């Protein structure tokens, strides 16, 4: 955990999320929350990317990312292409698809298992890695507004 007492670090990595431009805001935020939690699990404690903010009253506001976390939007097919491109690199990726909604998690697991990758509708993906490499994969997407 990075604190205000630590020496400044050179941050060479970046987090970027891409959400489908076709999603309603509530569905997009749900997908983003699942993917962000998933990325935290993928990274584990190996990456010191969290800051422990302490305000002037001494109240802690812990576990806020030190790295930029850019949220973008794009077409589901382009998100699939970005995920595919990242899989052949050192970029860590977590994605969220249409079969991961409705019903229990076991319903979602079964539905995903019975659906080919080509049939999946990509709701979004989160990428973490070297800033230049993440930017290269996500440069075609626009800022989520």
Q: CATH number for the 13-138 domain, one of 3.40.720.10, 3.30.360.10, 3.40.1490.10, 1.50.10.10? A: 3.40.1490.10
Q: Give pLDDT, residue 47.
A: 59
Residue 16's Cβ-side half-sphere holds a number of Cα atoms within 13 Å equal to: 28
Q: pTM for this one?
A: 0.90
User: For 72, which DSSP code?
Assistant: E
Tell me the pLDDT tens digit for each residue of 69-107.
Answer: 999 999 999 999 999 999 989 999 999 999 999 999 999
What one-character-per-residue DSSP string does 74-142 give?
A: E-HHHHHHHHHHHHTSS-EEEEEEGGGSSS-HHHHHHHHHTS-GGG--EEEEEEEEEHHHHHHHHTTSE
Report the distance separating Cα 16 and Cα 96, nearest Å.
14
Residues whose CB falls within 8 Å of the CB of residue 34, separated by 6 or more in sequence, listed in order: 96, 100
58 band by pLDDT with thresholds 50, 70 and 90: very high
Query: 142, 74 in Cβ contact below 8 A?
Result: yes
Q: Give pLDDT, residue 8.
A: 85
Query: 13, 130 in Cβ contact below 8 A?
Result: yes
| Every domain of the chain and the residues it spans | 13-138
Report the distance separating Cα 34 and Cα 90, nearest Å.
21
Report the distance separating Cα 125 and Cα 133, nearest Å.
15
């Amino acid at each position: 955990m990075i604190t205000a007492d630590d020496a400044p670090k050179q941050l060479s990595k970046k987090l970027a999320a891409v959400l489908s431009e076709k999603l309603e805001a509530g569905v997009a935020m749900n997908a983003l929350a699942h993917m962000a939690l998933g990325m935290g699990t993928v990274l584990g404690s190996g990456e010191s990317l969290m800051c422990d903010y302490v305000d002037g009253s001494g109240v802690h506001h812990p576990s806020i990312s030190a790295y930029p976390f850019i949220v973008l939007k794009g077409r589901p097919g382009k998100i699939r292409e970005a995920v595919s491109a990242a899989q052949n690199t050192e970029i860590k990726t977590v994605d969220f698809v249409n079969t991961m909604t409705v019903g229990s998690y076991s319903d979602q697991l079964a539905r995903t298992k019975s659906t080919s990758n080509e049939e999946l509708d990509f709701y979004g993906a989160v990428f973490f890695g070297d800033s230049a490499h993440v930017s290269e994969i996500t440069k075609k997407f626009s800022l989520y507004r």
